Amino acid sequence: MRPLVNKILFYDPFVESCQGCKKVELEQVFSSSDYISLNLPLTDKTKGLIDRRLLSSMKPNACIINTVRGATIDEQALIELLQQGRLGGAGLDVFAVEPLPSISPPLPW
């Protein structure tokens, strides 16, 4: 049986190792990955953690998936980068404000 991906990178300030995965700095996860799945709680330290700088460092074809907490991502930066074609896509199950206000900007995905 073969894995679906060649390698799995992860960043976690509290976990030193994970079988079959390589621990790297957060910046390397964003600059090297084709797909990024967020798995973190919303705290004062994680609110807005995924900012314009990290999002801008992603590959142009990369996709980010957030099913945990909307406020962990700078949504405005994400929308702008998607509209500019600088990201491959985003899968969002959560938003900073829920439900989305009726006057929300149209989402490009």
Q: Does 109 have pLDDT greater than 80?
A: no
Q: Does 3 have pLDDT greater than 90?
A: no
pLDDT for position 1: 56
Type of residue numbered 7:
K
Give the chain as a 3 state SS string.
CCCCCCCCEECCCCCCCCCCCEECCHHHHHHHCCEEEECCCCCCCCCCCECHHHHHCCCCCCEEEECCCHHHECHHHHHHHHHCCCCCEEEECCCCCCCCCCCCCCCCC
As assigned by CATH, the class of the 9-92 domain is: alpha beta
pTM (predicted TM-score): 0.87
pLDDT confidence band for 103 (50 / 70 / 90): confident
Per-residue pLDDT tens digits for 33-73: 999 999 999 999 999 999 999 999 999 999 999 999 999 99
